Amino acid sequence: MKTYVTAALFILFSSFASAAPQSVGTVILSFGQNTAESASTQRVLKRKSDVYADDLLKTGDTGRLQIRFTDGARLSLKPGTEFKIAEYQFDEANPEDGKAVYRLLKGGMRTISGQIGKVDKEDYKLDAVVATIGIRGTDFIVNKQGNRVSGSVNDGAIYVANKDGVSDIAKGFSFQLEGAEGAINRFRTPATVDRPDVPKPPAAPLPAATVVVSEAENEAVALAADENSENTIVSPDPNGSGENAPNESVVALAFSQSGVGASIGGVEISAGSIHGDDSSSDITVDRSWIGGDLVTGVVFNDESSLYSDSCSPCVVSAPPIIGTVVVQDKATIGTAEVSWGRWASGYTVVENGGLTASLGSFHFMYSEDLTPASTITSKTGTLLYRYDSMHGGATSPQDRTGALGTLTDYSSVTGTDGHTYSGTYLLVNFGAQALTEVGIEAEVSGATYVLRDDPSLGGDISLNSVLNGQEVALTGSCSGGGCNPVSTNLSGHMSLDFVGDNAEGAVTSYAAEGINAVNSQPAAISGTILFEAE
């Protein structure tokens, strides 16, 4: 029997909660001004900060906060959010006794559940002051603005209940309601809806919608949605000579944006990868250039990431005259051909229907030779993937100003933070199906950037998770150059895909950012790298 509480929204789903009287979770990423308030005290939240039961978490106007709870659940808060940890108890030895009660006072959140509620879903509740929601799945989004509550389900299913009734919301569907007695509107999530802050439920099957890439160039991408069919997505083809990428393809990409709402010092960096067989994304490639395949158009839906606000869709279009591409190159690694390059200017980025102000270059790395999943799972032993003058390739690392630098070659010298090597490399234990070490080092404008896999996340990273869209969390520092007077702590993420019949190469993109603790100056770095197996 479900209990309905007037003017209260409960979200019930699978997640563990920690009964520990001390820390109940740890900050994974904190961009912008974010705080925790408890009693009469206020703490600034940074990466690795602890959070406690009874904390009121607040994100600034440009803040983004991500937390891993002791039960393994992950929570991402959007800018301008207030989220209360009202009750939290968890004992790893007795997970069935765990309990968590949260309150979403305003703003937006996304969560991927841990273990609380796996035995009894009533043990996990979220009060958002409008209706009752019970969750059957693991990944969903909720937004609250005044008396309006909306959300969508990325995986699993939920039910939404208030005085108007009960409605089941399955994966791929969204909902919206206004007030405790308002009708619960349920509808298929359109391809153009990223954050259902103010989703517009259709009374009939969704009509075709158009996202304008650049009004000046009059480029558009048709995103058709229908209640009874899957979305059809087509990426831009600015010069008319592009082709759709095949299913076995992958593109890693990285770029920067500037302006209001950017997370670090007016700059927001993006990095990720998409596959040719992804029905919610599309890639256009020009194969006419001797230097290698050029990625000229991309539409991608980044709904799986907790490391940045999801993008549904982001549309990237190259300039109409593609001869302006810079640093175009290619390499053959084992059985795979990989191409990479940078659009220095003239490209456009549309994020969730709005044209953004791009900064610096758009980096891409492309291959049509993704390694079969069966090959990766059948491999054994530990393999070193390296970048140096004789192995792999890369686009030049770019800092927050758009300045370019160079990657530091792999070296067998023992690295920092307990790493086996130094320089730029990956260490993969195929026997354990895990990524065990990441090293990315670069020099840009007199500053030294060092990025490593984040040790606070508990050791090796599952290859299965990474190859199914989970980003690799990075931590590191920037020192010297514009990062003076002291080292700047960085946090970020990396995508990873293997290429070649026997995983001879690894195509990656990376992005990391932070703010100097002394002079409050921002620092950021991004780019793409091709690692080659030794």
What are the Cα distances from residue 108, in Å, to 65, 83, 103, 105, 128?
11, 9, 12, 9, 11
The yes-or-no verdict on residue 139 having pLDDT over 90 is no
| Cα–Cα distance for residue pair 511/525, rounded to 1 Å | 6
Residue 497: what pLDDT? Answer: 95
Taking the chain, what is the end-to-end CA distance rounded to the nearest angstrom? Answer: 60
Q: Compute the distance between CA of residue 331 and CA of residue 340 in angstroms, rounded to an integer.
A: 9
Retrieve residue 252's tokens. 């890693």
Measure the CA–CA gap between 305 and 53, rounded to whole angstroms: 26
- Indicate left, alpha or beta for 277 from its phi (over 0: left) and psi (-120 to 50: alpha): alpha
C-beta atoms surrounding 141 within 10 Å: 23
Q: Is 502 left (phi over 0), alpha (psi -120 to 50) or beta?
A: alpha
Q: What percent of the chain has pLDDT over 70?
A: 78
pLDDT, the chain, mean = 78
pTM above 0.95, yes or no: no
What mean pLDDT is predicted for residues 169-196?
A: 71
Burial class (CB in 10 A: 0-12, 13-18, 19+), 86: middle
Topology classification of domain 11-188: Jelly Rolls (2.60.120)
Max CA distance (Å), the chain:
67
Q: What is the pLDDT averaged over residues 145-166?
A: 79
- Check pLDDT > 70 for residue 462: yes
Q: What are the extents of the domains in the chain? A: 11-188, 232-533
